[in-house]
Structure 1
Amino acid sequence: MTAAERHRLTALAYSHTAAYQQVIRARIVCDAARGDSNAAIARRHDLTIDTVRRWRGRFADEGLAGLTDRPRPGRPPRFTPVQVAEVKALACQLPAETGTPLSRWTYPDLAAEAVDRGIVAAISASTIRRILARDTIKPWQHQSWIFIRDPKFAVKAARVLGLYAREYDGVPLGSDEYVISSDEKTSIQARCRCHPTLAPGVARMMRVNHEYQRKGALAYLAAYDVHQARVLSHRNAKTGILPFMTLVEQVMTQEPYASAKRVFWVVDNGSSHRGQAAADRLTARFPNAVMVHTPVHASWTNQIEIYFSIVQRKVLTPNDFTSLDQVEDRLTAFEQRYNATARPFRWKFTPADLEDLLARIERHEQKEQNLQQPAGCDHQPAAHALAA
């Protein structure tokens, strides 16, 4: 045994992470190198003498490589490559397209459908799982998406993202100009649990009773200063033009917004502040206020949604309030706590990222158009192969 082999085998013999079989084989060889007999090694490790003799002989003939397992043919595959491909193709179809009254496939459903179609005579759900795992096919999962329908999506989104970067239409904002992100969180219910909520304990999570009584609902209107991380809010029984303008009045009559050169209000296209009429109404009431709408179905560009998600996680979940007054008090207290320590969100999606996104969408749409061209085109078979 060379010094290098001795070092590697000693490390393997005392390893806590290597496979148990490898550790035992290394210990057999190390004991043999010290001159121990086969019988002594077998007694020490509770093995048979034949096992000790086998691994000593393999190490003598092949060195460290002899301590690995021999290649084994294994059990012959039960399913042909064609059957495996047909199972994957079935999983990549919508159940409705096959006439199955399901919205999504599961392993047992796919196994039953493969048998019904005659793809295989019998197959288990666990085998289906292993087949699909090779290509990371997960037919039980789904992800929603939406087309860009706003014809001015690029212009509106770029304007909003520019404000987050402290510029408006390419001109940097001054120190006396502010950006407010605003929206409404509707239908916040007060659910009074029929039994008291139990605090967490040793080996026990917090327990909340499932049954509850409704104690009413309210709307939480909030305005978030994007660059100062400051939240101002207003609670009302419902949303509408009047509650929104009440929030605007509350913000715009405070400093530094009252004497600011311009205050940009980033809002979505909700009924309380939709269209040019809402922008004119805001400017008529406060000449230094400018309403900026996000694109249609693009609320992700409105930073107030991030704050609302924090409120949902930290204040409203689980919902256990005895009255609407308690909901309001909790929201007010959390708002004060948040403003005391908040920092601006690290918004990373820039106008340059927007241009890259739109370019990718345009290339994708062009590719889809090429795939939908008539079959007489020369490149059609290649396109279909690429799609497959």
Structure 2
Amino acid sequence: MRTGISFTVSPTDRSRLMALIRDRNTPQKHVWRAGIVLLSADGVGTVEIMRRTGKSKTCVWRWQERFATEGVEGLLRDKTRPSRIARLGPEVAERVVALTLADPPGETTHWTADMMAKAAGISASTVRRIWKAHGLAPHRWRQFKLSNDPKFVDKLRDVVGLYVDPP
């Protein structure tokens, strides 16, 4: 079982912690962190600190340990946490760019974010971010698609013939 952390607070640290508590512009998280440390320094037990501050045992222990290792500065900043989503490597962006520059599958005229996301195995928002970073906008590309109609050439001659020699 864990035993309580005992530490002493120097007079300068105590005055700094008291100033944090008294200042009405101090963020509340800093106020209750300073309160936990001052109560601990005064010899108040963990259960009583929990009752007075309304914080959990692990929270009280965390800030006691942080003060013991880092001092007042440790109370004034939060630890950075890693993102819950792993970053995609550059090979994913290269693959999306290569697919974007290639023709889309089937009868479609251009890639959509949803189609690209399905093809690349990533989210549509990630596809949009990659496109934006690389200045790609496949939906804005101007292109001429020839018709698949077998009689297209004959119809084209008839229409062009009307422009060349109107009735």
TM-score, reference length from structure 2: 0.49
Structure with the largest fraction of strand: 1
> Whose helix proportion is higher, 1 or 2?
2
